[in-house]
């Protein structure tokens, strides 16, 4: 079983969603420089921002903005795992995903990030569940040496990929590797279509390295289709955030929570921060 680098050793009375970040693509202020965007987020009360890897942002500008504002870069998100899944039938595509993760882990070390988010694979008409499982194991085994070298953890995320659909299976998958640099990036909203967030948190336990925050409406899902379920503001869907917070406390989690919803300008980002603060206080 892996232990989270982000879990606090303090008492479980600590707030589970202790530090709030969001995704870089959510900052829709094109006239602002990188430094100004970092300062905007800092002024709004955010603790960090997650970047994609690879990205086209000048490294020196990002590091300067981080250091001048104090806004952290807690994690990176692999930008290749959908185009070239770790379970793709094409060996070259699988290797492209491995290579991108190795680079992302090294990038994360430079940024001061502690995790790189990875979708572990995709099951579809061309890739069976059994095959995907074997390929994911093979691919992650190739990436783990880079995690060891950099000290940055690989954080697998639950997404709508028809793979690792059960929380017990997800936990067992991580445990197969018996590696301290492999864990889970738990997405609360993604689970609601086919499960309960608290059940996932209970099963994953200390394997949870970070948490993604989004909302979901089962009513919209049933009346308008699965993807429409996400079309609801934070705190106005079917996620029982109080129960999520309690479940996270029960497994000892107190760390980063990253908002992953449609972004916008200063006013939109300010509203999202207020909403997540209300959620975190439940």
Q: Which helix (H) or strand (E) holds 157?
A: strand 153-157
Domains in the chain: boundaries: 17-280
Instruction: Tally the C-alpha atoms within 13 A of residue 269's C-alpha that lie toward its C-beta.
Output: 26
Contact 35, 69 (CB under 8 A): yes
Query: Mean pLDDT across the stretch 96-123?
Result: 98
Tell me the per-residue pLDDT of 186-235, one tens digit each, with 9 for 90 and over. Answer: 999 999 999 999 999 999 999 999 999 999 999 999 999 999 999 999 99
Residue 280: how many other CB atoms lie within 10 Å:
18
Quote the pTM value.
0.94
Collect all residues with Cβ–Cβ distance below 8 Å to 70 and sequence separation of at least 6.
Answer: 42
**17-280: CATH homologous superfamily?**
Divalent-metal-dependent TIM barrel enzymes (3.20.20.150)
Average pLDDT across the chain, whole number: 95
> What pLDDT score does 13 carry?
52
> What pLDDT score does 14 carry?
81
Instruction: Pick the range with the lowest mean pLDDT from 6-10, 187-191, 276-280.
Output: 6-10
Q: How far apart, in Å, are the Cα atoms of 280 and each of 101, 109, 241, 259?
A: 31, 28, 8, 12
Query: Mean pLDDT across the stretch 94-106?
Result: 98
Tell me the per-residue pLDDT of 232-246, one tens digit each, with 9 for 90 and over. Answer: 999 999 999 999 999
Residue 11 pLDDT level (bands cut at 50, 70, 90)? very low
Collect all residues with Cβ–Cβ distance below 8 Å to 104 and sequence separation of at least 6.
Answer: 53, 54, 76, 78, 116
Written as one string, the DSSP assignment of the chain is ----TT--SS-TTS-SEEEEEEBGGGB--TTS-HHHHHHHHHHTT--B-BEEES--S-HHHHHHHHHHH--B--EEEESSTTTS-TT-SSHHHHHHHHHHHHHHHHHHHHHT-SEEEE-----BTTB-HHHHHHHHHHHHHHHHHHHHHHTPEEEEE--SSSSS-SHHHHHHHHHHH--TTEEEEEEHHHHTTTS-HHHHHHHHGGGEEEEEE----HHHHHHH-GGGGG-S-TTSSS--HHHHHHHHHHTT--EEEEE-S--BSHHHHHHHHHHHHHHHT-
Cross-strand bridge partners of residue 208: 184
Of all residues in the chain, the percent with pLDDT exceeding 70 is 95
What is the C-alpha separation between 222 and 57, in angstroms, rounded? 40
Residue 65 pLDDT level (bands cut at 50, 70, 90)? very high
What is the C-alpha separation between 125 and 232, in angstroms, rounded? 31
């Amino acid at each position: 079983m892996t232990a989270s680098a982000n879990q606090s050793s303090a008492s479980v009375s600590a707030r589970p969603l202790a530090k709030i970040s969001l995704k870089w693509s959510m900052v829709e202020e094109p006239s602002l420089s990188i430094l100004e965007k970092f300062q905007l987020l800092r002024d709004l009360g955010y603790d960090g921002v997650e970047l994609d890897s690879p990205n086209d942002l000048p490294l020196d500008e990002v590091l300067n903005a981080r250091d001048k504002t104090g806004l952290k870069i807690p994690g990176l998100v692999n930008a290749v795992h959908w185009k070239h899944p770790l379970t793709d039938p094409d060996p070259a595509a699988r290797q492209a995903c491995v290579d991108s993760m190795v680079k992302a882990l090294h990038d994360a070390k430079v940024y001061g990030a502690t995790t790189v988010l990875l979708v572990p694979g995709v099951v579809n008409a061309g890739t069976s569940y059994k095959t995907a499982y074997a390929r994911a194991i093979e691919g992650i085994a190739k990436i783990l040496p880079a995690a060891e070298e950099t000290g940055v953890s690989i954080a697998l995320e639950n997404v709508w990929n028809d793979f690792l659909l059960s929380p017990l299976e997800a936990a067992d998958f991580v445990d197969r590797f018996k590696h301290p640099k492999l864990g889970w990036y738990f997405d609360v909203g993604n689970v609601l279509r086919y499960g309960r967030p608290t059940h996932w948190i209970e099963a994953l336990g200390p394997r949870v390295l970070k948490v993604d925050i989004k909302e979901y409406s089962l009513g919209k899902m049933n009346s308008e289709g699965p993807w429409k379920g996400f079309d609801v503001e934070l705190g106005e869907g079917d996620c029982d955030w109080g129960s999520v917070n309690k479940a996270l406390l029960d497994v000892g989690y107190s760390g980063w929570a990253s908002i992953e919803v449609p972004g916008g300008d200063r006013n939109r980002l300010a509203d999202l921060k207020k909403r997540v603060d209300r959620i975190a206080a439940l």
